[in-house]
């Protein structure tokens, strides 16, 4: 890839405020006194309020501190640092002087969406904004150079910039960004800038440290739950545990005199909250509050009835087609051997470590919300809706998230509730915090599906036909119906599509992939990895079944289908080589493979496990490879790969929400466990960016952890597990 010349929309850079206000501070509209609220104001201190921005993305203080504006949310995935690297690369600033701040969604709205999308999901943070944030850095650099050149009375092109220092090349004169930033802010942005050739990148691709680590080590980092505002009260909430149920009545008189209680309020039509001085007081009173629920139409729903619904879809005549070539059913009839298997994947909760929470202050003419969110703009929309005010009279201050995983992006139920409570106590900031139990029961769950897989092999043992029938829940039908195509949820086919970000990694001569949409009344949501979690298990486990059915090596069997998928083949080969696939593993240790394309990245894994006679599983090691096209921060990519494996393996081992009487049965980490350090395998990560495209990081590798382990379990035990989580299956050989 060469240098890229990109033209700039005038609108994009001319719409700007003359100063960066303390609007970037979380506490603009409130007098701040408490320590936590001060900490929450982040970098937007009093000094920056008097410093003009160079452009929407870059503010430089007289002391050369560089403030880079970040529109997407940081929730642990490292996007904040990666995006800052992208801007700083083009800005040519001193990385050691870089800090960051979040613009608010209200400011984005007021400035004609100058920062574009705030949405942080689908592994889009970097790949969805790399171009315009680099442009932002490049434009700022050109303006800073021009300001210096003007001051010196020399042509721009005699000047260059590096590490926040501008040099007039003929004379060797220098100045710094901090000295010319104010003058640069008054200039008209250039019409065109050149983005660097990737081979000239100095900061992109470097394993620099995160910008947000230090405060996380001392307790200083403020999360939503930690926010303290003057005069703030705390709220605990219970919503009807039955999906679709309503709040019938509650007896406030029984708790109103309990310590610290200020008010007991109805919240929307399905919840009740206690507002008290402290959250513990609110929670204690809520536990004592007599509540009657109208359980509504789903009181009879249970896991068995949902399974029957899905079973019917496995053989139903009609289904949506996600991928078709050749004639799968005809080829199956002519196959020398056919193999059939049915898999099932359960509901799962995001279970972020920080439960849902939001703080709201409502008055008749303004509503403000402080919250951890993966999408500030969606949070603002939810705020305005619940407040009954135009969005221009609302704002949302984003706070670092204690985990997101998809729970806090498309859904702002917790924001609407906080506003609904605050609206009943005008002027008083209300911090709403869910209990873990509330969080477990009111999720937006990883959707439930089953898949019937039928494969046909010819007399040479090659795959000639594959029919995949998925039956189960659509996320989009419930969450984003307008993203569907003629009633089809193409997201359901992630990892199995003909091409694109989630294209299938194989060429099968006759292929049919279908979805019989069956939507139980349990709210589904985007869950880290979304539909590749189960689809990769279905596909990669079944390919393993097919290979074993004809006595072929699972690696060779796959390779034969991957001639047209060289990048996927490359990651598969990389893990096979590093794991030593062609050599025997240690005694008692067995290997399994998986490969997938997800969120535009090519990923593969080779797992090594052992299973003892009692059925105890030990995952020793996983070798993983990822080709994300460009790798912005390799050490953060390694962290994301390891982290995605914890999320994916926790799901494989334990993740299951079952439904009884219309409610989720699991209440807390005792009934919904997450894997621990003692269960964590060694992870070896191969980052192999091949260039030319931008793939995601946070999610893709989650696809391959579970199937690689499942295939290794088969190698170890001869047992093919097709129902999850594994805790429900006896792996013992006796």
Please give the residue ranges that form the binding site for other proteins (CB under 8 A).
34-36, 75-78, 209-210, 212-223, 225-226, 228, 234, 259, 278-280, 284, 351-355, 400-405, 433, 435-436, 635-636, 639, 642-647, 650, 668-670, 674, 676-678, 680, 682-683
Tell me how far, at minimum, the Cβ of 272 lies from other proteins, in Å. Answer: 19
SS3 418: helix
Closer to other proteins by Cβ: residue 482 or 678 = 678
Closer to other proteins by Cβ: residue 184 or 401 = 401
Task: Give yes or no for a contact between 547 and 372, defined as CB atoms under 8 angstroms apart.
Answer: no
Closer to other proteins by Cβ: residue 6 or 36 = 36
Tell me how far, at minimum, the Cβ of 643 lies from other proteins, in Å. Answer: 3
Closest to 375 measured CA to CA, from 540, 128, 634: 128
Closest to 211 measured CA to CA, from 636, 694, 687, 698: 636
Tell me how far, at minimum, the Cβ of 307 lies from other proteins, in Å. Answer: 27
Tell me how far, at minimum, the Cβ of 142 lies from other proteins, in Å. Answer: 32
598/530 Cα distance (integer angstroms): 10
Q: How many CA atoms lie within 13 A of 625 on its CB side?
A: 24
Alpha-helix runs per DSSP H in 316-423: 328-333, 376-387, 413-422
Tell me how far, at minimum, the Cβ of 36 lies from other proteins, in Å. Answer: 6
Rg from Cα positions in the chain: 27
Closer to other proteins by Cβ: residue 474 or 650 = 650
Q: Which residue has the tokens 């901090």?
A: 178
Helix (H) or strand (E) holding 175: strand 173-176
Tell me how far, at minimum, the Cβ of 405 lies from other proteins, in Å. Answer: 7
Closest to 494 measured CA to CA, from 542, 518, 527, 454: 527
Closest to 522 measured CA to CA, from 601, 423, 616, 447: 447
Tell me how far, at minimum, the Cβ of 21 lies from other proteins, in Å. Answer: 27
CB under 8 Å to 153, separation ≥6 — which residues?
A: none
Tell me how far, at minimum, the Cβ of 46 lies from other proteins, in Å. Answer: 23
Structure tokens at 103: 């613009």
Tell me how far, at minimum, the Cβ of 578 lies from other proteins, in Å. Answer: 17
Burial of 467 (0-12, 13-18, 19+ CB in 10 A): buried
The CA dihedral of 441, 442, 443, 445, to the nearest 10 degrees, is: 70
348/327 Cα distance (integer angstroms): 35
Terminal-to-terminal C-alpha distance of the chain: 58
Number of H helices, E strands in the chain: 18, 29
Structure tokens at 109: 């709205």
Closer to other proteins by Cβ: residue 27 or 190 = 27
Tell me how far, at minimum, the Cβ of 435 lies from other proteins, in Å. Answer: 6
- φ, ψ for residue 449 (rounded to 5)? -145, 165
**Cβ count near 650 (within 10 Å):** 20
Q: What string of DSSP letters covers 543-554?
A: HHHHHHHTT--H
Closer to other proteins by Cβ: residue 379 or 646 = 646
Closest to 87 measured CA to CA, from 599, 697, 632: 632
Closer to other proteins by Cβ: residue 75 or 138 = 75
**Cβ count near 398 (within 10 Å):** 28
Closer to other proteins by Cβ: residue 76 or 495 = 76
**Cβ count near 463 (within 10 Å):** 27
Tell me how far, at minimum, the Cβ of 209 lies from other proteins, in Å. Answer: 5
Closer to other proteins by Cβ: residue 279 or 362 = 279
SS3 728: helix
Closer to other proteins by Cβ: residue 145 or 440 = 440
Closer to other proteins by Cβ: residue 506 or 647 = 647
Task: Give yes or no for a contact between 624 and 575, defined as CB atoms under 8 angstroms apart.
Answer: yes
Closest to 701 measured CA to CA, from 401, 434, 495: 495
Closer to other proteins by Cβ: residue 3 or 35 = 35
Closer to other proteins by Cβ: residue 154 or 639 = 639
Tell me how far, at minimum, the Cβ of 527 lies from other proteins, in Å. Answer: 12
Tell me how far, at minimum, the Cβ of 345 lies from other proteins, in Å. Answer: 19
Task: Give yes or no for a contact between 128 and 77, defined as CB atoms under 8 angstroms apart.
Answer: no
Burial of 171 (0-12, 13-18, 19+ CB in 10 A): exposed
Tell me how far, at minimum, the Cβ of 6 lies from other proteins, in Å. Answer: 32
Structure tokens at 469: 């029938």
Closer to other proteins by Cβ: residue 446 or 722 = 446
Task: Give yes or no for a contact between 708 and 535, defined as CB atoms under 8 angstroms apart.
Answer: no
Tell me how far, at minimum, the Cβ of 647 lies from other proteins, in Å. Answer: 6
Closer to other proteins by Cβ: residue 132 or 647 = 647
């Amino acid at each position: 890839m060469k240098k890229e010349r990109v033209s700039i929309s005038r609108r994009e850079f001319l719409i700007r405020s003359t100063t960066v206000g303390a609007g970037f501070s979380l506490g603009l509209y409130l007098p701040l006194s408490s320590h936590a609220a001060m900490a929450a104001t982040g970098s937007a201190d009093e000094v920056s309020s008097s410093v003009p921005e160079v452009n929407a993305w870059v503010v430089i203080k007289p002391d050369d501190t560089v403030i880079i504006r970040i529109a997407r949310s940081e929730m642990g995935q490292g996007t904040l640092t990666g995006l800052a690297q992208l801007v700083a690369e083009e800005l040519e600033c001193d990385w050691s002087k870089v800090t960051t701040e979040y613009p608010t969604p209200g400011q984005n709205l007021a400035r004609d969406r100058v920062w574009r999308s705030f949405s942080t999901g689908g592994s889009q943070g970097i790949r969805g904004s790399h171009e315009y944030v680099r442009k932002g850095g490049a434009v700022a650099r050109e303006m800073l150079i021009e300001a210096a050149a003007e001051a010196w009375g020399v042509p721009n092109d005699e000047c260059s910039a590096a590490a926040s220092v501008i040099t007039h090349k003929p004379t060797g004169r220098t100045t710094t960004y901090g000295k010319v930033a104010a003058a640069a802010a008054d200039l008209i942005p250039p019409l065109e800038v050149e983005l660097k050739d990737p081979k000239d990148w100095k900061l992109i691709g470097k394993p620099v440290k995160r910008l947000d680590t230090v405060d996380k080590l001392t307790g200083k980092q403020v999360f939503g739950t930690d926010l303290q505002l003057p005069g703030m009260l705390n709220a605990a909430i219970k919503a009807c545990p039955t999906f679709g149920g309503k709040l019938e009545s509650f007896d406030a008189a029984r708790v109103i005199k309990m310590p610290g209680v200020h008010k007991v309020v109805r919240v929307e039509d399905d919840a009740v909250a206690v507002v008290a001085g402290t959250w513990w007081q609110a929670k204690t009173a809520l536990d004592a509050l007599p509540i009657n629920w109208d359980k509504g139409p789903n009181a009879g729903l249970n896991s068995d009835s949902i399974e029957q619904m899905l079973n019917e879809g496995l053989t139903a005549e009609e289904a949506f087609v996600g991928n078709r070539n050749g004639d799968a059913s005809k080829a199956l009839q002519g196959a020398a051997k056919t193999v059939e298997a049915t898999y099932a994947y359960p509901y799962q909760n995001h279970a972020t470590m920080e439960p849902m929470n939001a703080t709201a202050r409502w008055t008749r003419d303004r509503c403000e919300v402080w919250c951890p969110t993966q999408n500030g703009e969606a949070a603002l929309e939810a705020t305005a809706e619940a407040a009954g005010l135009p969005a221009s009279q609302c704002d949302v201050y984003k706070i670092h998230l204690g985990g997101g995983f998809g729970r806090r992006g498309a859904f702002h139920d917790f924001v609407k509730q906080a506003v609904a409570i605050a609206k009943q106590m005008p002027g008083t900031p209300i911090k709403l915090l869910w209990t873990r139990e509330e969080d477990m029961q009111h999720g937006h769950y990883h959707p439930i599906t089953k898949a019937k897989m039928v494969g046909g092999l010819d007399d040479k043992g090659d795959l000639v036909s594959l029919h995949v029938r998925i039956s189960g829940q659509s996320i989009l039908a419930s969450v984003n119906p307008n993203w569907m195509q003629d009633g089809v949820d193409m997201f359901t086919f992630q990892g199995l599509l003909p091409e694109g970000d989630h294209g299938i990694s194989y060429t099968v001569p006759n292929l049919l992939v279908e979805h019989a949409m069956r939507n139980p009344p349990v709210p589904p949501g985007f869950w880290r990895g979304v539909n590749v979690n189960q689809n990769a298990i279905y596909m990669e486990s079944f390919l393993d079944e097919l290979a074993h059915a004809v006595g072929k090596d699972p690696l060779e069997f796959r390779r034969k289908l991957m001639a047209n998928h060289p990048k996927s083949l490359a990651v598969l080969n990389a893990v096979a080589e590093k794991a030593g696939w062609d050599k025997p593993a240690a005694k008692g240790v067995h290997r399994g493979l998986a490969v997938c394309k997800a969120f535009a990245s090519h990923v593969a894994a080779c797992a090594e496990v052992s299973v003892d006679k009692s059925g105890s599983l030990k995952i020793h090691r996983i070798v993983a490879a990822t080709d994300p096209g460009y790798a912005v921060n390799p050490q953060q990519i390694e962290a994301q790969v390891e982290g995605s494996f914890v999320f994916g393996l926790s799901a494989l081992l334990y993740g299951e929400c079952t439904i009884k009487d219309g409610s989720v049965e699991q209440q807390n980490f005792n009934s919904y466990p997450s894997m621990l350090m003692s269960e964590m395998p060694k992870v070896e990560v191969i980052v192999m960016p091949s260039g030319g495209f931008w793939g995601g990081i946070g999610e893709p590798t989650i696809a391959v952890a579970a199937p690689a382990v499942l295939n290794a379990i088969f190698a170890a035990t001869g047992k093919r597990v097709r129902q999850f989580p594994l805790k429900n299956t006896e792996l013992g050989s006796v």
